[in-house]
Amino acid sequence: MTKPNKRDEIVRSALELIAEHGFHGAPMAMVAERAGVAAGTIYRYFENKDVLIKELYQELENKMYPFIMDGYAAEAPFRVRFFHLWTALMRYFIQYPLDFRYLEQFRNSPYGVASRRDKILGNDAGRCDVFRELLEQGAAQQVVKDLPLILLFSISFGPLLAVTRDHILGFVQLDDTMIERTIEACWDAVKR
Amino acid sequence: MTKPNKRDEIVRSALELIAEHGFHGAPMAMVAERAGVAAGTIYRYFENKDVLIKELYQELENKMYPFIMDGYAAEAPFRVRFFHLWTALMRYFIQYPLDFRYLEQFRNSPYGVASRRDKILGNDAGRCDVFRELLEQGAAQQVVKDLPLILLFSISFGPLLAVTRDHILGFVQLDDTMIERTIEACWDAVKR
DNA sequence: TATAAAAGAATGAACGTTCATTCTTTTACT
DNA sequence: AGTAAAAGAATGAACGTTCATTCTTTTATA
């Protein structure tokens, strides 16, 4: 079997603790303990806590991408592609609730705001640009509302993220019908 | 002029610092300094930081309520009332961006999750129940989607909150048209 | 192959800093 | 003078990070 490399253990431990308790509920000593490693060891793999946090974010983005693209038909009609991507994203989050919680923590923090600002100003390579491409195309074809791209993002992801959060925090138990209805709501919200 | 009571200064200072830098970017010493007060003085008005944070939350909820209810016609058609409330809320947030940012910080923290759990389990009096009443009525009249109440909340507030965040973080400059379109998107998302 | 030397990885106690909170002193008011 | 309020120094716990040391693996030598 593959040796559970220490770096990976540290990352896993950080993911769990931060997802559940936030950045400030995950002291390095605790991350180390849960990873089965000494405190100082973390610093052999990551320059400091900030770097650990940012690298973990990148890893999650990279992990998400293939999951979402699986079975994506680039030539299908707009609506079909929209439903594919949004459904895949929601199912990803439901399958990996720690990832969802971590990403939310990250987005609601100075890290996330800075990273988003970079992306908007185009200073960033941009991983998940499938979403952007699709919405840009929808705007060009006038199938979505006449609004700046960034608002199309917020409007179409808003319901998805809020509902997913409800599920992951245990406020509802989503079933397949509810998931579908939620994606329909996202669609109804953006479509012209 | 009304004396700027020390308690109010402390609350205002905490609001500013927490809204801009989060709970952990607002040490008590800094809250005190900005309030023009000594560190120890805060503890004459608030038992501890947690209490300060929770009382501030309550104050904001109470401040919001009359603003939203102003001009609300309880007998108007469902759609009209929906547009009134959602527009009023969005305009409130745009007018008081610090309030918005504070409330978001609060909601994305253990405080907010606990408070929400209380509200759902009915252990809480519930301030802004206009929203709940309206959505419940919409569900009864089958004018909104057939989903649990909590999902109706998330679906109809999701776009509003996400778009407002974009505006307040400076990612877009909203104008009246965009605001209206956003509320329409919220409506399209929930309506059956 | 057996052994010594070097390199690399890991450890965990210790350090300096930050923070919420408490304690003691000073000020303001009646 | 006496009391309540305010001030701000002091406290101690918690944290991120460092570093001298130990343990483990790899390399070089015979």
Would you write out chain B's pLDDT as a tens digit for each of its 192 residues? 345 699 999 999 999 999 999 999 999 999 999 999 999 999 999 999 999 999 999 999 999 999 999 999 999 999 999 999 999 999 999 999 999 999 999 999 999 999 999 888 876 766 668 999 999 999 999 999 999 999 999 999 999 999 999 999 999 999 999 999 999 999 999 999
**What's the pLDDT score for residue A2?**
41
**Nucleotide nearest the Cα atom of B39 (by C1'):** D8
Q: What is the pLDDT of residues B90-140, one digit of tens each?
A: 999 999 999 999 999 999 999 999 999 988 887 676 666 899 999 999 999
**Which of A109, A117, A182 minimises the CB distance to B155?**
A182
- Nearest nucleotide, CA A39 to C1': C12
Asked whether the beta carbons of B174 and B94 are under 8 A apart, the reply is yes
A88, A66 contact by CB (below 8 A): no
| Hits for CB < 7 Å against strand D across A residues 70-129 | none
Answer for the pair B135, B153: CB distance below 8 angstroms, yes or no.
yes
Answer yes or no: do B160 and A158 touch at CB < 8 A.
Answer: yes
Distance in Å, alpha carbon of A5 to nearest chain B alpha carbon: 32
Rounded to 10 degrees, what is the CA torsion of A8, A11, A17, A22?
A: -170
Chain B partners within 8 Å of A191 (Cβ): 188
Chain B residues whose beta carbon lies within 8 Å of the beta carbon of residue A184: 145
Q: How confident is the model at residue A127 (pLDDT cuts 50, 70, 90)?
A: low
Residue A171 to residue B24, Cβ atoms within 8 A: no
Tens of pLDDT, residue by residue over A81-100, are 999 999 999 999 999 999 99
